[in-house]
Amino acid sequence: MAACLLSTAGDSSAASTSAATEPAPAAGAAYKAEAGPFEIQTIESIEYRDTRRQKTLSLRLQYPKYPASPPTANVGGNTTSRSTGQLPLIIFSHGAGGSSNGALSLTRHWVSHGYITIQPTHEDSIALRRGRSERYTILDALRTVEQDPQAWVDRARDIGFLLDRLEQIEEHLPSPAARIDPGRIGMAGHSFGAMTTMYLAGATIELPGAPKAQTFGDGRIRTFLALSPAGPGRMGFTQTSAISISRPLMLMTGSRDGGGRSEFTPQWRLSSFESLPPNDKYAIWIEGAGHMTFAGDARRAAAGRLRPFARPDPRNLDQQEQFIRYIRIASTAFWDAYLKDDPLARGYLCSEALEQYSQQVVDLRVK
């Protein structure tokens, strides 16, 4: 593990303090590996009409069930909201062909620990397109990844559209004790959704026909988690695209997370980490984890499905479940560190506890 300097969440210009000043986790400890104390409430579909783009965007809303009175602030614990009852929000962007029903083993875990989550269904969703009686397959969705720059941009605009409507979305939350804190918003995504996340984080993108590099960064989002992102050569990404990302970012991939071509290796997925500016940047490598592992889908990961986008994975279901457990641990610590300003979480990320807990299956790099 690299040396870790801890700065004020979301502000890499703030004075950094040594990891030694943070509480040291126990050797081999797991950070919030089990489901949290809060019951999960779900609204499976909410629709908003984007008249400017002439499209309807659907989302899944999940939130923790709180008592009628606002939760008390408790830094380092699970009732992490401020005394106003505002809760941090995580927006999750699905992979190519997916939908708002994806990655629930991850998003539900976060909600159980005191987060609100929003999961939009993007236009490349197989379920969405088939619901319109279109003939649309995973191969069509993958062609969108490869060949449709407008779709790349539209996904980023989907997120901006939802951020503009947080007050309307909040009206669906039944308890006045559970409200969205607009100052504590994170974004995560898997695969195509990881690239959408990188767009919103402020990466510079070279689009066909554009005279110069474009950026779709949104300052309303405080921190970012990219699960199995692509490297240079896809979706407008270049060797220098990540240089402009200054806010906290965690990247994740694994040794079986290929990209369908010989040059698209698992190492290629982490190549952006090298060009990221220092402070509040993390890279997670899980030995044996495949592409669908990072969508929180143990069965598909164990079967090695969705060829050619993922290589066949010989690990069994129990092993994949364990890999997903590591993803939950690392991601929850990351959210807590940067959306709840939890010193215990920051100390965990800057320790070797997760590597020891996983018996070195996980490699955590920090810069």
Q: Is the N-terminal amide bond of 277 cis, ω within 30° of 0?
A: no
The predicted model gives 43-56 an average pLDDT of 94
Q: If pLDDT is split at 50, 70 and 90, which confidence band does 27 have?
A: low
Mean pLDDT within 131-157: 87
Give the pLDDT score at 141: 84
Tell me, yes or no, if the pTM score tops 0.85: yes
Query: What is the average per-residue pLDDT within 75-100?
Result: 74
pLDDT recorded at residue 129: 86
**Better pLDDT: 176 or 321:** 321
Asked if residue 158 has pLDDT above 80, the reply is yes
Report residue 43's pLDDT band, with 50, 70 and 90 as the boundaries.
very high
Map out the domains of the chain with their CATH numbers.
Answer: 5-366 (3.40.50.1820)
SS3 track for the chain? CCCCEECCCCCCCCCCEEHHHCCCCCCCCCCCCCCCCCCEEEEEEEEEEECCCCEEEEEEEEEECCCCCCCCCCCCCCCCCCCCCEEEEEEEECCCCCCCCCCHHHHHHHHHCCCEEEEEECCCCHHHHHHCCCCCCHHHHHHHHHHCHHHHHHHHHHHHHHHCCHHHHHCCCCCCCCEEEEEEEEEEEECHHHHHHHHHHCCEECCCCCCCCEECCCCCCCEEEEECCCCCCCCCCCCCHHHHCCCCEEEEEEEECCCCCCCCCHHHHCHHHHHCCCCCEEEEEEEEEEHHHHHCCHHHHHHCCCCCCCCCCCCCHHHHHHHHHHHHHHHHHHHHHHHCCCHHHHHHHCCCHHHHHCCCCEEEEEC
Instruction: Give the range with max mean pLDDT: 73-87, 203-217, 287-301, 346-360.
Output: 346-360
* Average pLDDT, integer, range 284-306: 84
pLDDT value, residue 315: 52
pLDDT of residue 76: 40
Confidence of residue 5 (pLDDT cuts 50, 70, 90): low
Confidence grade of residue 314 (pLDDT, cut at 50, 70, 90): low
Q: What is the spatial distance between Cα 155 and Cα 193, in angstroms, rounded to a whole number?
A: 8
Greater model confidence, 110 or 1: 110
pLDDT above 90 for 85: no
Check residue 335 and give its pLDDT: 98
| pLDDT of 64 over the 80 cut | yes
Q: Which pLDDT does position 234 carry in this prediction?
A: 87
